[in-house]
Amino acid sequence: MARLVVKRKHSIHRFRRSPLPASKPVEVVSPPVELWAYAVERYPERRIELVDGRVVIKPMPGKIHNQIVFALLRVLMPLLAERAWEGWGDITLFFGVHEDRFRPDLTVVPREPRMWSDDHVHADEALMVVEVVSPSSVQDDHEYKPGRCAKGKVPLYLVIDPAQEIVRLLSQPTEDGYDDEVKVPLGEKLSLPAPFDLVLDTAQLLA
């Protein structure tokens, strides 16, 4: 019996005094927004997004990508000047403090949009968001981002996909997505509804 008592006391002593092993630190999982903020600070020269809880470092745009964005901006410029709108090539859409952070290829906004910070514009202030699809962004640009932009009350979401040679225009945003979609082959004409009321000849994007 004495032997048993000694063993129990020894066990209690070890239980009270033994520290956690140094090789097994407590794991702390940071919220996605904090990871995004860290990546933005760590790589200030890159375009970094938070998409569906994922930190996405966008690849540097290539020649065709830049040409399409420039061509679209050139087509829209007379309308932007007439209505005192602006086309921003690198701004973050703000959906909420703990929500996604998108940096579209082009965002059309009024002259003085409501800002959350110097580099964040409220999503419902955007008049149109444009994404030029790259090989790494196909699913996000075509599937996830439209739903989030619709919920954020972005009136128009334009997707230009040079690989598939199509242009999609999504409009009439609701909580469940866009109610209307028009898709045309890249090179054909596409009508942009209010507030633009403009017929876009997508062939000009290829010039």
In 10 A of CB 152, how many CB atoms? 22
Instruction: Give percent above pLDDT 90 in the chain.
Output: 70
pLDDT in tens, 122-138: 999 999 999 999 998 99
Could you count the other beta carbons within 10 Å of the beta carbon of residue 196? 18
Closest CA to 157 of 147, 141, 146: 146
Helix (H) or strand (E) holding 63: helix 63-83
The answer on pLDDT for 159 being more than 90 is: yes
pLDDT at residue 142, rounded to an integer: 97
Q: What is the mean pLDDT of the chain?
A: 87
- 91-to-49, 59, 85, 117 alpha-carbon distances in Å: 11, 16, 15, 10
Whole-number pLDDT of residue 30: 53
Q: What are the two backbone dihedrals, phi and then psi, of residue 181, each rounded to the nearest 5 degrees?
A: -140, 135
Q: From the CA atom positions of the chain, what is the Rg in Å? A: 25
Sequence-distant (6+) residues with CB within 8 A of 120 are 91, 92, 93, 94, 101
* The pLDDT value given to residue 29: 42
Left (φ > 0), alpha (ψ -120 to 50) or beta: where does 176 sit?
Answer: alpha
In a 10 Å sphere around its CB, with 0-12 CB exposed, 13-18 middle and 19+ buried, how is residue 15 labelled?
exposed
